[in-house]
Amino acid sequence: MATVKLLDYEDAPAEAKAVYDEIKASRGVEDVNNFWKAMANNPSALRTFWERMKAVMGKGELDPLTKELIYVAVSIANNCEYCIHSHTAAARSRGLSEAQYNEFLEVVGLAVNGNALVNAMKVPVDEQFKV
């Protein structure tokens, strides 16, 4: 259970309904995910997050699949179950293959392993990185 009520379309305030409509149209889906139904308890925060997600995750200097992988990597490190599920699914809908996913997992595993070794031994930053 969430700490807030998940607001279905009919129960959501008008300002939230407008965002739901945009999400449904933008993604071609019949209903919005639970994340948006939780955010709708604060309609202005819902609006802000949706605008920001559109602006940040769309195609720019980095492609949308790369952005989704970065999002999933962060979510794994923070162990956000919902985020891992929704953004791994988003990465797949952006074309992530199983072979790419396997490589992604290997990079994440190497990174956390390297992080732990470096943090454990308190390796000092090399001078050349300090410029």
Q: How far is the CB of 7 from a second copy (least distance, A)?
A: 12
Residue 12 near a second copy by CB under 8 A? no
Distance CA 123, CA 37 (A): 45
Residue 30 near a second copy by CB under 8 A? no
Q: Which is nearer to a second copy, 18 or 65 (CB)?
A: 65
Number of H helices, E strands in the chain: 6, 0
Q: Which of residues 70-129 bind a second copy (CB under 8 A)?
A: 70-89, 97-126, 128-129
Q: How far is the CB of 40 from a second copy (least distance, A)?
A: 11
Structural contact between residues 43 and 15, judged by C-beta atoms closer than 8 angstroms: yes
